[in-house]
């Protein structure tokens, strides 16, 4: 639907500072030229926010284009990532080496460093993959929180920077924004400054078609300091940022009233500036209106020289910081550098060994959520950068290790965060913490609520960062809460996310091994699926070998002859396969049990290993209290699945497993049927 009341302004506002307007017009020109050449993109937001970005980068941002990974740099996040040309323009103008003009010309093309939305690892200066609207707001909260926690550990001399985030109307419509701003306000993140691009335009037309919220009041209600300015008045922008930086006990939201597509003669201020290529005639008109005489992709030499000087102005501050690091007490400096290099303490694996020994010596049945908590008790003492948390389920998720101190509003010396019932905000904030550096975040909720976290989980996997999602109550085994809380399709859906390590350990020893695998892979996001119900200790080996390391392994080899049957399982159903095997072996059927705690790792193995684990036999049975999707590749034509084929029910654990026929008896019955079918199959 179009809103006929929306029309372009008749003239441009007179600039307070004509020179700053010229500087900002460099961003506008590059943005409209790149979008026009790509015949795709969003020039409106970059053109509307160019004045804000110019003041921020030229007068406040602490960065050095020659050292993009300087630890104490300010962080800049573009939550309204469709306006990616704003960031790409800034990176080119300030002289980042891997953002030459050729990449600007290749905007939105295959294998370019300038995709439609900013992607972490595509180019230096892109701090995060933001993607879906609202993600960047929550990621910025995590980055700011990471800065404060590191500051509490290492002091102002080593960690003392700001996090700036640009966000649009769409970011604030998304529900994740409320989770994020509420958390930030509660924690009093005074070094977080957010700029709202208040242009009142969405793709459908004026935002009043869909929303009438008073955004400044919403932020104030969540504990933010709020300023409201003209987003094209450079004096007002400067004053607002100065004021925001002086506020130490509240995050600040600066509401910037802007004109989307500022400079476009007929489309500025309208939905046509939101996501359409401007058109050659419109760009010609913009050049005339902006008094911009350079051809496409050409920045006047004097302006480019000034922008490049902005890119180098942080070199002096960076050098002074490097001297402070060098002069810091040696133990502090070594710990600071180790953490920021992403290296774990040299003896951290002893914590895993100690946990495994504890489990083996106990011999008790234990839920894997409790086993995970016990592992964390050991790990927390060994890895001080672990940052735990839960979405109001700490006692259920077992994510708070013994000795962890809570992070509180204005008090950041702890290592545990109570995220509240904000699963999505928690997941995205953890991504921000991970990308800040120096900390290893993990956070818990129920596996069924991974649906609320999924966009952030997906981005973590895409960015290849070490964010760990601890998901408990992983099956119908949670019992009485019923089908709304019983995840049946979630494992399949999560395993479908590329690069995400989904771990479902089958006993306490495997739980410790899975934590070891997660921590030693700094470029892999991970999810632990853990049981509510107790499970028997199936392994008592406490040696140095991590049998889970290849994703799947033969837990029990067949006895009495060549393998005739393979039983596969994960998690709380692994013991059913073990029990069934014992019966089948007594019947003279050589049976192997394969444990598959992480399918992704197994798929990375060579063909010979996979073949050795799965065996030659066509008689295969998989058992998992979830849907079958994904198991087909291992079962083949003759294999059968014992698991869920619909949603669960409310009742006691044992009654539910019996109702849905996920029992030792069901595994035995299915195994015998498969064997009979395979034996009846005619030979070649």
Q: Report the alpha-carbon angle 238-242-246, nearest 5.
A: 170
CA distance 420 to 407: 13
d(C-alpha 342, C-alpha 356), whole Å: 25
Length of the chain: 684
- Contact predicate 253/182, CB 8 Å: no
Phi, psi of 399 (to 5 degrees): -95, -10
| Strand ranges, E, within 151-191 | 163-168
**How many CA atoms lie within 13 Å of 627's alpha carbon, on the beta-carbon side?**
15
User: From CA 438, how far away is CA 415, in angstroms rounded?
Assistant: 12
15 φψ region: left (φ > 0), alpha (ψ -120 to 50), beta (else): beta
CA 525, CA 517: separation in Å to the nearest integer?
11
> Residue 446 in contact with residue 393, Cβ under 8 Å?
yes
What are 159's two structure tokens? 């960690």
Beta pairing class for 501-503 and 468-472: unpaired
* Cα distances (Å, whole numbers) of residue 581 to 438, 594, 613, 621, 665: 46, 11, 16, 11, 11
Contact 318, 64 (CB under 8 A): yes
Q: Which residue has the tokens 């600039």?
A: 15
Q: Is 216 exposed, middle or buried (0-12, 13-18, 19+ CB in 10 A)?
A: middle
How far apart are the C-alpha atoms of 80 and 675, rounded to whole Å?
Answer: 57
How far is Cα 380 from Cα 416, in angstroms, rounded to an integer? 11
Do residues 611 and 648 make contact, with C-beta atoms less than 8 angstroms apart?
no
Residue 444: its H or E element: strand 440-446
In this structure, what token pair is assigned to residue 291?
A: 């008094």
DSSP, res 541: -
Q: Active site includes 423?
A: yes
Structure tokens at 317: 């501050």
Say how far apart CA 316 and CA 313 lie, in whole Å. 7
Q: At what angle do helices 84-94 and 18-38 cross, to 10 degrees?
A: 120
Helices 135-154 and 423-436, packing angle to 10 deg: 50
Residues 6 or more apart whose Cβ sits within 8 Å of residue 519: 344, 348, 379, 383, 440, 466
φ, ψ at 343 (rounded to 5°)? -95, 140
Tokens for 532, please give them: 């509510």
Q: Which of 103, 335, 423, 516 is catalytic?
A: 423
Question: Beta-strand (E) ranges in 182-316?
Answer: 192-198, 225-230, 252-257
**630 vs 394, 459, 553, CA distance in Å?**
31, 22, 18
- The strands making up 501-503's β-sheet, listed across from edge to edge, are 416-418, 386-390, 440-446, 468-472, 526-529, 501-503
Instruction: Tell me how crowded residue 7 is: count the other CB atoms within 10 A of its CB.
Output: 12
Q: Provide the annotated active-site residues.
A: 423
């Amino acid at each position: 639907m179009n809103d006929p009341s929306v029309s372009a302004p008749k003239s441009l506002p007179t600039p307070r500072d004509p020179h700053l307007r010229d500087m900002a017009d460099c961003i506008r020109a590059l943005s409209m030229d790149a979008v026009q050449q790509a015949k795709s993109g969003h020039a409106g937001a970059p053109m509307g926010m160019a004045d804000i970005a110019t003041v921020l980068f030229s007068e406040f941002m602490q960065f050095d284009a020659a050292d993009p990974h300087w630890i104490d740099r300010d962080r800049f996040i573009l939550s309204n990532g469709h306006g990616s040309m704003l960031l790409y323009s800034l990176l080119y103008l300030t002289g980042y080496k891997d953002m030459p003009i050729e990449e600007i010309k290749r905007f939105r093309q295959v294998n370019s460093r300038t995709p439609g939305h900013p992607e972490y690892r595509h180019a230096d200066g892109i701090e995060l993959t933001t993607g879906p609207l609202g993600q960047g707001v929550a990621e910025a909260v995590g980055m700011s929180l990471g800065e404060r926690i590191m500051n509490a550990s290492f002091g102002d001399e080593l960690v003392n920077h700001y996090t700036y985030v640009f966000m649009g109307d769409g970011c604030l419509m998304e529900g994740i924004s409320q989770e994020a701003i509420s958390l930030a306000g509660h924690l009093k993140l005074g070094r977080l400054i957010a700029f709202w691009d208040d242009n009142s335009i969405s793709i459908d037309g004026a935002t009043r078609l869909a929303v009438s919220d008073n955004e400044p009041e919403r932020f104030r209600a969540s504990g933010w300091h709020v300023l409201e300015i003209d987003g094209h008045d450079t004096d007002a922008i400067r004053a607002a940022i100065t004021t925001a930086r002086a506020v130490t006990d509240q995050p600040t939201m600066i509401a910037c009233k802007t004109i989307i597509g500022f400079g476009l003669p007929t489309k500025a201020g309208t939905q046509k500036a939101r996501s359409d290529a401007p058109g050659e005639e419109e760009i010609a008109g913009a050049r005339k209106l902006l008094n911009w005489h350079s051809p496409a992709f050409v920045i006047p030499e004097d302006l480019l020289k000034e922008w490049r000087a902005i890119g180098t102005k942080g070199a002096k501050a960076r050098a002074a910081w490097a001297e402070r690091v060098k002069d810091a007490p040696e133990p502090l400096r070594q710990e600071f550098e180790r953490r920021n290099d992403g290296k774990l303490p040299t003896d951290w694996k002893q914590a895993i060994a100690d946990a495994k020994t504890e489990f083996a010596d106990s011999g008790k049945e234990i839920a894997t959520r409790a086993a995970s908590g016990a592992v964390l008790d050991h790990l927390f003492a060994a890895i001080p950068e672990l940052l735990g948390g839960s979405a109001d389920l700490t006692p259920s998720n077992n994510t708070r290790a013994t000795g962890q101190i809570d992070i509180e509003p204005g008090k950041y010396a702890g290592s545990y965060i109570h995220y509240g019932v904000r699963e999505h905000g928690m997941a995205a904030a953890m991504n921000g913490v991970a990308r800040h550096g120096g900390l290893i975040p993990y956070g818990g909720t129920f596996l069924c609520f991974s649906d609320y976290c999924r966009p952030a989980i997906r981005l973590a996997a895409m960015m290849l960062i070490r964010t760990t999602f601890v998901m408990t109550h992983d099956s119908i085994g949670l019992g009485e809460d019923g089908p709304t809380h019983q995840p049946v399709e979630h494992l399949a859906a999560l395993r479908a996310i590329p690069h995400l390590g989904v771990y479902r350990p089958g006993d306490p020893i495997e739980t410790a091994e899975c934590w070891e695998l997660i921590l030693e892979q700094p470029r892999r996001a991970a999810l632990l699926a853990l049981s509510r119900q107790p499970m028997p200790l199936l392994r008592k080996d406490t040696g140095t070998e991590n049998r889970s390391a290849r994703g799947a392994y033969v837990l029990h080899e067949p006895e009495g002859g060549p393998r005739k049957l393979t039983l596969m399982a994960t998690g709380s159903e692994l013991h059913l396969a073990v029990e069934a095997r014992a019966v089948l072996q007594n019947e003279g059927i050589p049976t192997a049990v394969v444990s598959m705690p992480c399918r992704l790792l197994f798929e990375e193995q060579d063909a010979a290993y996979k073949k050795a684990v799965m065996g030659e036999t066509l008689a295969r049975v998989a058992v998992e209290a979830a849907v079958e999707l994904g198991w087909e590749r291992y079962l083949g034509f003759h294999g059968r699945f014992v698991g869920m084929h619909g949603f669960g029910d409310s009742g006691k654990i044992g009654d539910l497993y019996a109702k849905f026929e996920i029992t030792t008896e069901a595994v035995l019955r299915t195994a015998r049927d498969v064997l009979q079918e395979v034996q009846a199959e005619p030979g070649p």
